[in-house]
Amino acid sequence: MKNNVPDILLIYTGGTIGMVKDYKTNALKAFNFERIKEKIPELNLLDCNIETVSFSNPIDSSDMCPEYWIKIAEIIEERYKEIDGFVVLTGTDTMSYTASVMSFMLENLSKPVIFTGSQLPIGDLRTDAKENLITAIQVAATQENGVGKIREVGLYFEYKLYRANRTSKVSAEQFEAFESPNYPHLGISGVHLIFNDQWINKADNGKNLVVRKKFDSNVVILKMFPGISQEIVEYILNFPELDGVVLETYGAGNAPTAAWFINSLKAVLERNIPVINVTQCIGGSVLMGHYESSIQLKQIGIINGKDITTESALAKIKYLLGIDTLYKDFKIEFENSMRGEMS
């Protein structure tokens, strides 16, 4: 802390927000984030010190993977003691996946880590990048009693602050690209930046930050659709190295009742492979046993994902497998909220 002014680290990984248009070719290209204040001089008005660090080769969000998750987490780990808040800029397409993963990687987090990006490049005339970036930095720099107001992984986009592991991208074209259907906003930006204190994580256990860097990559998302064939399901579930399944079911957790389908899932469970039931609906919760079409899933031991998002379910199963959670403990561990990711 310098003169009681918060120190904020801006981490640019890639994505639309860091692009400018070459008006000679009309092509988008990444610009030097060390010169961010030249593009957004309003940053000089913020009451905080801003440092920047960029990936040497910025990546498209479609190329995001565990290698880059670890890289982001290590940057935070390296600067954690001296920096008061972090703003992470990524492409929007996989932002909910990355931000959800980060919430599990950063164990005992007690400082703000705010993800943001934009739908239009920072150099575009109608860009949403400036407001998203400025307010994300303000959120990360907001303090109460000498500590960050936010002490968790958040996602700020188009005037709303969300708990990151509760979000999904819902639009490829609208500025309101993200939503948190099953958890209220942590804050909203209007004339004033207003925080919803009752929904913000207030835990501060005084423990040191632990960065979990091990993930299991042999996990699959299996989405139900009418007419899905036995051959396809069995081919996927019989993959020899399979370690976990996120099963995207209908409505409140309903799935086909055909004997072949239930037997395929039972065979997976008999190999001590956890299967998580999540709804493919944008909002709502899995209620296994509420309808006849989910009773058998409950009876054979499928794990109830409740109101967790698919993005967060994938992050959580990879995390739990990565820390070598025993199969006999997996159901209890998954069905209990660890980072505020489920109700």
Catalytic residue set: 16
**CA distance readout (Å), 255 to 228, 240, 290:** 11, 24, 12
Strand, helix or coil at 227?
coil
Tokens representing residue 275 in the block? 């299967």
The answer to whether 128 touches 88, Cβ cutoff 8 Å, is no
Residue with tokens 């256990």: 205
Report the alpha-carbon distance of residue 278 to residue 243 in Å, rounded.
Answer: 17
Which among 82, 70, 71, 75 has a CA at the least distance from the CA of 53?
75
Tell me which residue of 248, 92, 99, 100 sits closest to 171, measured CA to CA: 92
Exposed (0-12), middle (13-18) or buried (19+): which is 16, by Cβ within 10 Å? buried
C-alpha span between 216 and 151 (Å, rounded)? 27
- Considering Cα of 319, then 321, then 326, then 329, what sign does the dihedral take? positive
User: Which neighbouring-strand residues pair with 168?
Assistant: 179
The span from the CA of 152 to the CA of 146, in Å, is 16
What secondary structure letter does DSSP report for 65?
Answer: -
Kindly write down the DSSP assignment for every residue of 277-343, as one continuous string. EEESSSS----TTSSHHHHHHHHHT-EE-TT--HHHHHHHHHHHHHTT--HHHHHHHHHS-SSS---
- The structure tokens listed for 340 are 């505020």
Tokens of 36: 């961010």
